[in-house]
Amino acid sequence: MTDQDLGFIHVFERATDPAGGTLLVLHGTGGNEHDLLPLGRLIAPGAALLSPRGKVLEAGKPRFFRRLAEGVFDVEDLKRRAAELGDFVVAAADRYKFDRRTLTAVGFSNGANIASALLLLRPDVLAGAILFRAMVPLVPDRLPALSARVLISNGRADPLVSEEETGRLASLLQNAGAEVEVAWQPGGHQLSQGDVTLAREWFSRATTKSARETS
C-alpha cells in the first residue's frame, strides 16, 4: 500500500513469512518509494518492506538529505533528516505492527548514507543494514553503542566512493560496536547481480544467527 501519512510518502508491503523480518528500503538520488522494492524482494522474499521517499529535492530529484557538492554533505541537514526518518520508522513500526528488533535497512548511494547516519545517530532504530555504494555520512561527536550487523558492498571502480572512504566507514561503524563485513564488486557505482546475490546470502546468514541468539 502507498501512504502519505507518518511524515513521508511511503510504501509498506506486509511480510509473507512470519519469520522474514522487515527491510527499510532507501533509494538513491532521483529514486522513489517504488524503485528498490524489487531489490528488497530479491534479498528477502518473505520480509515486510517499508520504503519511504526522500523529501529533499535536488534539481527535482528526491534525496534523503542535502549536499553542498558531490561527496560534500550538509551535515546539519543530515542530522535533522536522520532524526525525522528515525521518528518515521518508529511511527511506522507502531502503525504496521512490525518488530524493529528485526529491521534491516537496505540503502543504495544516498539511501545507504542516510542508513549509516541512522546507525550513528539513532542506534535504537535499526538492527542491521545492507549498504550499497556507501560513504561516511558524518562523524558524530560521540559514538553510539551499536549491536547492529552491517554489510558494505562497494565497487572497486566506483568514481564516487574510494577504497579509503569505504575503509573509513567500516572502521567508524566497527569502533561503535557494529559487526561489519566489507565486500567488493568489480564494477562502479551501479548495482550488479553480484550485489544482489551477496546481500541475499548475507541477510539469510544474519537472520539465522539472530534467531539462534534469541532462542
Residue pLDDT, tens place only, 141-170 = 999 999 999 999 999 999 999 999 999 999
The catalytic residues are 109, 158, 189
Contacts of 80 (CB under 8 A, 6+ apart): none
- 28 band by pLDDT with thresholds 50, 70 and 90: very high
Confidence of residue 40 (pLDDT cuts 50, 70, 90): very high
pLDDT classification of 60: cutoffs 50, 70, 90: very high
Nearest residue to 20 via CA among 213, 215, 200: 200
Which pTM was predicted?
0.95
- pLDDT of 213: 66
Given a cut of 80, whether residue 187 has pLDDT beyond it is yes
Report the pLDDT value the prediction gives residue 3, as an integer from 0 to 100: 60
What's the pLDDT score for residue 160? 95
How high is the pLDDT of residue 30?
97
How confident is the model over 82-96, as pLDDT tens digits?
Answer: 999 999 999 999 999
pLDDT interval class at 5 (50, 70, 90): confident
The pLDDT of 106-131, averaged and rounded, is 97
Q: What is the CATH number of the domain that holds 206?
A: 3.40.50.1820
Other CB atoms within 10 Å distance of the CB of residue 3: 15
Mean pLDDT of 110-135: 97
DSSP 83-98: HHHHHHHHHHHHHHT-
Looking at the predicted structure, is the pLDDT value of residue 214 above 80? no
Confidence (pLDDT) at 208: 74
- The boundaries of the domain holding residue 158 are 2-214
Domains held by the chain: number: 1
